[in-house]
Homo-oligomer: A and B are copies of this chain.
Amino acid sequence: MAQEEVQNGGPEKVAEVRFTALKPQLMVEASKAADAVQFYKTAFGAVEAGRTVYPKRKAEQEQPHVLSAQLELAGSTILVSDIADNSTPVKTEGTGCVLCLETEDVEAAIAKAVSAGGVAEGEVTEGDGACCGGRVGKVKDPYGYVWLICSPAKKCGDAEA
């Protein structure tokens, strides 16, 4: 890539930054991360690629806290972590991050997630959902996260809902 010349005294250049991966990290109340990982495996067929744990810090602690479990799901990676004892909770102030999972079989996916312990919310609806039209259903997992189960996105940009 061509390097631009930086002029002395010119406005500060903002560096070109390349990002190599984007991974949603789901923070869960300690020490539920291990259970959450199991849920995502059972409900969505996620495959665990690795897990980093803290050493146990307290004698009464039943299982080590999960610093980060890495799950492969639908060609993406998600991280699941216990909120550390000593860390500030990373409370999202936005109106909420939802995880949109695309599949050809919305009903079967919801049924499977529900049989694993998720709770279906509302009906499967057509179109006026989130993922550029198509059919959309909603499942809340036992750890508070909302998953949209959607049929594959149509081309965005033209449609007016």
Interface string of A111-155 (1 = CB under 8 A from B): 110010000000000001011110000001001111010001101
B-side contacts of A58, CB under 8 Å: none
A24 — nearest CB in chain B belongs to which residue? B24
In the assembled complex, the Cα of A146 lies from the Cα of B89 at a distance in Å of 11
Query: Out of B19, B45, B131, which one reaches A73, CB within 8 Å?
Result: B19
Interface footprint category on A: 35 or more
Q: A35 interface residue, CB < 8 Å from B?
A: no
In the assembled complex, the Cα of A79 lies from the Cα of B27 at a distance in Å of 20
Q: How near does chain B come to A139, taking the closest CB pair, in angstroms?
A: 12
Q: How near does chain B come to A103, taking the closest CB pair, in angstroms?
A: 5
Residue contact A102 to B52, C-beta cutoff 8 Å: no
* Contact A22 to B78, CB < 8 A, known contacts A160-B53, A161-B52: yes
Q: A95 interface residue, CB < 8 Å from B?
A: yes
The 4 closest A-B pairs by CB, nearest first: A50-B156, A94-B144, A93-B144, A50-B157
Known: A23-B100, A92-B96. 11 other contacts (CB 8 A): A14-B115, A15-B105, A18-B104, A20-B152, A22-B102, A25-B131, A50-B157, A53-B161, A54-B160, A79-B131, A93-B140
Pairs A–B under 8 Å by Cβ, sample size 25: A17-B109, A18-B104, A19-B44, A20-B74, A20-B75, A20-B102, A22-B73, A22-B75, A22-B101, A23-B131, A24-B99, A25-B97, A25-B100, A25-B130, A25-B131, A26-B97, A27-B97, A49-B156, A52-B159, A52-B160, A52-B161, A54-B160, A79-B131, A93-B144, A97-B99
